[in-house]
Amino acid sequence: MLSEQKILIPNTSAVSAAGTKSSHQRLWKTVVFRGLLPLAVIAVGGFISVWMIETGPQAKPHTRTRNATLVAVRAVDYSSQKTLISGMGTVAAACNVELKPQVSGEIISLNPNLVPGGHFQKGETLLKIDPTDYRLTLRERATDVAKAKSDLQLEQGNQLIAKKEYKLLGETVSDQERALMLRRPQLENLQATLEAARAKFDKAQVDLGRTEIKAPFNAVIQSREVNLGTRVSESLVLATLVDTDAYWVEVSVPVSQLRWIQIPQTTKDPGALVRIYNTAAWGDKVFREGRVIRLKSDLESQGRMARLLIQVEDPLSLQPGLDQPRMLIGSYVRVEIQGNAVASAAAIEREFIRNGNSIWVMTTQGNLAIRPVEISFRGVDRLMVTGGITSGEQLIITDIATPVAGMPLRTVDDTAGQTATREPAGQGGQS
């Protein structure tokens, strides 16, 4: 038998309400989890950050140690300083001549020393020309003089006779007639003839002496143009001689430095003292001394520099007892001219002058100071500074790779070796 069964039908509205409630709960939890939780984390983080900032250590200024640059210094001293002008020059002959004969004839004798480089004293015989013709001429002139003397003596006798005759005549005549009666024209003519004969005799005697050619001064032979047996005339050059008593050195210097050089205006005024160097021939420290004698009136055509003449006595060192290097004509030499002194200046080497006219000074605080200076004289090695630095200040004589005004410095006497400066923390690192 079939029992009666009840079929249960679910309430769809109730189920739908329950599902909606559950969905709202899940959505709320999701919103809370995804929205409020991050905000909470951020809030907690912000609170922690504020707390750490408020409770953390405060930045305070601290002492920063900066390394100082090691330099060498030298105290500056002002005093009277001598100037030294350097230049280059060429050795030249002070006096040279081309020797020519004053009479013609054949050379019959040559001095063995008459060769290039040979030395002669003044008046020493160089060569001889055949004197035969000149001796004969001298004898003829002597005969003419003797004849003129004889004629004059005869006329003087006639003068006595004429005077006696004029007195015996006792007539008054004119001056012209009296001169003729006393034979005055004849006397004057014979006196003139005698003087002419004597002049010719003297000329013949001089010509005979000129057959012997002598050195006109202390000389060295530069060249010889004749030989034994050469027939010479008055236009032919026998030899070229150079005076050995003095040589000249022609030196070029800047026009701006002439005011420091003592240049004589007359031969009695002493010129500036000069040292001449020829390193290649004499060595490094060997020199000859000379003096400035003149300033040439024109400038060099190329460099527009002034030219000085310097005289050196006994350039070949021929005087006994003197052991000095010999100077050769044409040599290129270096000279140092002692100029006028600067009354008060500091002598600073050229290498310590920075950028042309500045120097580095270490201040009393131990910092670098870069100063322009006044330079009154510029030499090859040293410059004369007359302003920009005072006596006793410390001149830096060490090169600094990157000099900056105010940078700290130290010397070998500074055992600490550092300069402390105050800077706020976080303003840079060590330099």
- Tens of pLDDT, residue by residue over 116-131, are 999 999 999 999 999 9
Taking only the tens place, the pLDDT of each residue in 341-365 is 999 999 999 999 998 889 999 999 9
Rounded Cα gap, residues 33 and 36, in angstroms: 6
Rounded to an integer, the average pLDDT of 145-159 is 85
The pLDDT, as a whole number, for residue 17 is 52
DSSP E strands in 94-245: the ranges are 96-99, 105-110, 119-120, 125-129, 212-214, 219-224, 231-232, 239-243
Q: Is pLDDT at 215 greater than 90 in this prediction?
A: yes
Q: In the chain, how long is the greatest CA-to-CA distance?
A: 244
Lowest-confidence pick of 45-49, 154-158, 200-204, 278-282 = 45-49
What is the rounded average pLDDT for all residues in the chain? 83
Q: Is position 166 within any domain? A: yes
Phi and psi, residue 236, nearest 5°: -90, 135
Q: What is the dihedral of CA 231, 198, 135, 218, to 10 degrees?
A: -60
Q: Is position 362 within any domain? A: yes
Q: Is pLDDT at 63 greater than 70 in this prediction?
A: no
Q: Is pLDDT at 40 greater than 60 in this prediction?
A: yes
CATH number at residue 349: 2.40.420.20
Q: Is pLDDT at 315 greater than 90 in this prediction?
A: yes
Domain-terminating residue out of 299, 322, 340: 340
| 253 and 325 fall within a common domain | yes
| 309 and 375 fall within a common domain | no
Rounded to an integer, the average pLDDT of 175-183 is 70
Chain-centre distance for alpha carbon 51:
81
Structural domain count, the chain: 3
Domain-terminating residue out of 340, 367, 387: 340
Higher-pLDDT residue of 84 and 171 is 84
Domain-terminating residue out of 340, 360, 381: 340
Q: Is position 115 within any domain? A: no
Q: Is pLDDT at 313 greater than 60 in this prediction?
A: yes
| 373 and 347 fall within a common domain | yes
Higher-pLDDT residue of 169 and 148 is 148
Q: Is position 19 within any domain? A: no
Q: Is position 383 within any domain? A: yes
| 356 and 298 fall within a common domain | no
Lowest-confidence pick of 53-67, 81-95, 245-259, 314-328 = 53-67
Q: Is position 373 within any domain? A: yes
Rounded Cα gap, residues 274 and 269, in angstroms: 15
The pLDDT, as a whole number, for residue 102 is 93
Q: Is pLDDT at 431 greater than 70 in this prediction?
A: no
Q: What is the spatial order of strands in the sheet that 231-232 belongs to?
A: 212-214, 125-129, 105-110, 231-232
Lowest-confidence pick of 53-62, 99-108, 250-259 = 53-62
| 350 and 403 fall within a common domain | yes
The pLDDT, as a whole number, for residue 167 is 73
| 318 and 354 fall within a common domain | no
Rounded to an integer, the average pLDDT of 412-418 is 59
Rounded to an integer, the average pLDDT of 199-216 is 94
Query: What domain range is 327 assigned to?
Result: 85-94+245-340
Rounded Cα gap, residues 102 and 153, in angstroms: 36
| 274 and 310 fall within a common domain | yes
Cβ atoms < 10 Å from Cβ of 390: 10
| 284 and 336 fall within a common domain | yes
Give the three-class secondary structure for 334.
strand
| 349 and 396 fall within a common domain | yes
Taking only the tens place, the pLDDT of each residue in 260-297 is 999 998 878 889 999 999 999 999 889 999 999 999 98
Q: Is position 300 within any domain? A: yes
Q: Is position 29 within any domain? A: no
Q: What angle do CA 271, 276, 280 make, to 5 degrees?
A: 170
pLDDT band at 29 (very low <50, low <70, confident <90, very high): low
| 263 and 314 fall within a common domain | yes
Burial 53-65 (b: 16+ CB within 10 A, else e): eeeeeeeeeeebe
Q: Is pLDDT at 427 greater than 50 in this prediction?
A: no
Neighbouring-strand partners of residue 97: 241
Rounded Cα gap, residues 90 and 310, in angstroms: 10
Q: What's the pTM?
A: 0.67
| 330 and 250 fall within a common domain | yes
The identity of residue 321, as a single letter, is: G
Q: Is pLDDT at 19 greater than 90 in this prediction?
A: no
Are residues 104 and 210 in contact, defined by beta-carbon separation less than 8 angstroms?
no
CATH number at residue 284: 2.40.30.170
Q: Is pLDDT at 206 greater than 90 in this prediction?
A: yes
pLDDT band at 182 (very low <50, low <70, confident <90, very high): low
Taking only the tens place, the pLDDT of each residue in 383-392 is 999 999 999 9
| 336 and 355 fall within a common domain | no
Cβ atoms < 10 Å from Cβ of 226: 18
Q: Is pLDDT at 217 greater than 90 in this prediction?
A: yes
